[in-house]
Amino acid sequence: MTETQTQTPLSYADLLASVVPAEGGREILDPATGEVVGRAPEHTAADLDAAVAAARAAQPAWAALGHERRAEYLTRAADAVEASAEALAELLSREQGKPLNGPNARFEVGACAAWLRTTAAFELAPEVLVDDGGGRAELHYRPLGVVGAIGPWNWPMMISVWQLAPALRMGNTVVMKPSEYTPLSVLALARVLNEVLPEGVLHVVSGGREVGEGLAAHPGVDKIMFTGSTATGKAIIRSSADTVKRLTLELGGNDAGIVLPDADPAAIAQDLFWGAFINTGQTCAALKRLYVHEDLYEAVCQALTAVAAQMPMGVGLEETNVLGPLQNKAQFDIVASLVQAAKDAGARVLVGGDPDPDQPGYFYPTTLVADIANDNPLVAREQFGPALPIIKYSSIEEAVAMANALDVGLGASVWGTDLEAARAVAARIQAGTVWINKHGAVDPRVPFGGAKQSGYGLEFGVEGLKHLGAPQVISY
């Protein structure tokens, strides 16, 4: 690791060439154009075993470095991400589909550096639990060993950093399994990080669901960090049971937002829009169902429609766009079928809802749907795309009951001018995070995790670090 290496920016061509296999591999297509982005390696069970063995071999020396040295490595890793930020953002945009601009590809790469830097700076001192003359008990957090990190396709680089940064900081080594839809982004991120990290501490195995299953069941892996769907989370609980692995599960959500009667529609419309449509709606903690009091229902619908009309959607590499395609055909079909279900039930489409069959790529237009029942599939299921249902309510009781009616509870939000009234409603919502007058604003210093079937365990902050450690009491 030298200063010069951390400062050297990689070009897009060099970065891509360094992660595609010399021969073979699976073609990865740009979801906006259908063009080939590159080929991803298809690793085998033997490759997985080799990666786990190498991670195990490297772990004692990495743990022995201590917190301060590991924090230095993470800071250098942040520098390396920043040095190659443009190449990383371009690859992410081509592979995932998200535009360079807006809260998208450049933003995601910036978040990777920010999370690495912030995670490096935390202090995790042993806690003295008892020290009363009769005895002393201290709580320490030791490394777990090897951490398996299984990720989704929506924020592939950022979520990988959410998993690997605290894992490495705590003295674990890491084997990542990226989504089969976005492996190149994660391979490229690891390539950049491995310029500065010691050999053997960070590995990527690229492949499909069977590689994820193999990692979750592997006897050489001590913990799984998983971000993805609730159905896969349940499968991981089952396949990790025989080895009693520690798990952090960040699963699906269907976040509710409640607009209180005293809210100012014009003032909140832009933030409501981005709360719902960040990453073209393909975000775990995006606003996915919006409950608006009847007194300002039409005003909010109008204000949101006006904001939606100003947001250009298109190919990610065109600098003017801030919304992109769905990442894959399966997700496009889910969004299309849910909007169709809303139309079939007589809901009012305020904007969108009518994809152009002649347009290449998986573009689904920005869609707002009003006058829709709470049990309509567009409300009750996670759409994970650019289609927001807006539901009218007449009493706070009714709004809270509708918000809490589902078996998931990742995030939620309350919007209004009386902060105390908003806080009182927030306290009644079953979700891991409730934002007030914003939605989805995650922060590397603030713990984040789901309620109900949105998962368990916490990420971020010092609490997040603790979840990557083995608690040990020393008592005398």
User: Closest approach of Cβ 308 to ligand NAD, in Å?
Assistant: 22
The Cα angle at residue 221 between residues 217 and 226, in degrees rounded to 5? 70
- Would you give the binding string for ligand NAD spanning residues 345-384, x where CB under 6 A is met? -------------------------------------x-x
Contacting range for ligand NAD; rule: CB under 6 A; set: 22-30, 133-141, 153-161, 272-280: 153-161
- 450 touches ligand NAD (CB under 6 A): yes
- 410 touches ligand NAD (CB under 6 A): yes
Total interface residues for ligand NAD by CB under 6 A: 31
Contacting range for ligand NAD; rule: CB under 6 A; set: 57-65, 137-145, 244-252, 312-320: 244-252
Q: Which is nearer to ligand NAD, 212 or 361 (CB)?
A: 212
The span from the CA of 110 to the CA of 104, in Å, is 10
Q: Which of 108, 213, 222, 255 binds ligand NAD (CB under 6 A)?
A: 213
The span from the CA of 208 to the CA of 424, in Å, is 44
DSSP at 358: T
User: Closest approach of Cβ 177 to ligand NAD, in Å?
Assistant: 6
For 346, counting Cβ atoms within 10 Å of its Cβ (0-12 exposed, 13-18 middle, 19+ buried), the class is exposed
User: Closest approach of Cβ 284 to ligand NAD, in Å?
Assistant: 3
What token pair was written down for 394? 């007449």
Contacting range for ligand NAD; rule: CB under 6 A; set: 53-61, 234-242, 389-397, 417-425: 234-242
The span from the CA of 464 to the CA of 57, in Å, is 25
- 152 touches ligand NAD (CB under 6 A): yes
Q: Which is nearer to ligand NAD, 211 or 300 (CB)?
A: 211
Q: Which is nearer to ligand NAD, 293 or 439 (CB)?
A: 439
For 123, counting Cβ atoms within 10 Å of its Cβ (0-12 exposed, 13-18 middle, 19+ buried), the class is exposed
- 235 touches ligand NAD (CB under 6 A): yes
CA 336, 286, 430, 349 torsion: positive or negative? Answer: negative
Edge-to-edge strands of the sheet including 469-475? 127-131, 136-143, 469-475
Residues ≥6 apart with Cβ < 8 Å to 420:
none
The span from the CA of 207 to the CA of 205, in Å, is 7
Q: Which of the following is catalytic: 250, 301, 382, 459?
A: 250
- Give 281-300 as a DSSP string: G--TTSEEEEEEEGGGHHHH
Residue type, 228: G
Q: Which is nearer to ligand NAD, 248 or 366 (CB)?
A: 248
Contacting range for ligand NAD; rule: CB under 6 A; set: 221-229, 265-273, 315-323, 358-366: 221-229
What token pair was written down for 12? 């897009």
Contacting range for ligand NAD; rule: CB under 6 A; set: 7-15, 31-39, 232-240, 350-358: 232-240
Instruction: Outline where DSSP puts E strands in 319-427.
Output: 348-351, 367-370, 387-393, 408-409, 411-415
Active site residue 250: yes
Active site residue 301: no
Give catalytic residue positions: 250, 284
**What are the residues binding ligand NAD (CB under 6 A)?**
150-154, 159, 177, 179-180, 208-209, 212-213, 216, 227-229, 232, 235-236, 239, 250-253, 284, 382, 384, 410, 450, 455
